[in-house]
Amino acid sequence: MTTWVPQSCTLPTTEQPLRVAEFDVLFRERLCEWTRPDRMRLQLVLRGGPGVAETVRDLVDRESGCCSFFTFSLVVDADRLRLSVTVDEPHQAVLDALQERLALATGRERP
């Protein structure tokens, strides 16, 4: 399995597994579907609920703080959250590895 924590991440090494675990829980508990419209972008659809949007915003804000190559865009609908994850060209492998985490956390193969 490929790690999606790149060397350029500024999060302390001891905290990196905790952050990965936070994403794994989010994916396992809330992910409905995902697509890869192009090689630099993942589109995730998450189930909403009380406090979910705030939790997702907090998580992606913290991730952007240590991995500035990520661009996250969150759109909140009535019962769904649409999260777009984009990276720049040098970090495509990180997005590939993140997609592997989606499959691992949900027990589903990529769409």
Residues with Cβ < 8 Å from 33, sequence gap 6 or more?
A: 44, 45, 111
CB atoms within 10 A of CB 58: 12
Q: In total, how many domains does the chain have? A: 1
Q: CB–CB of 54/39 below 8 Å?
A: no
In a domain, 19, yes or no: yes
The domain containing residue 36 runs over which residues?
A: 14-106
Q: What is the pLDDT of residue 1?
A: 38
| CATH number of the domain where residue 84 is located | 3.30.1360.40
pLDDT of residue 13: 60
pLDDT at 76: 95
pTM of the model: 0.84
Residue 7 lies in a domain: no
In a domain, 66, yes or no: yes
> Is residue 6 situated within a structural domain?
no
pLDDT of residue 24: 86
Residue 70 domain-assigned (yes or no): yes
Digit-by-digit pLDDT tens for the chain (111 residues) are 345 555 666 555 666 667 778 888 899 899 999 999 999 999 999 999 999 999 999 999 988 888 888 999 999 998 999 999 999 998 898 899 888 888 777 776 655
Is residue 111 included in any domain, yes or no?
Answer: no
CA distances from 23 to 34, 59, 70, 78, 110 (A): 14, 8, 14, 22, 17
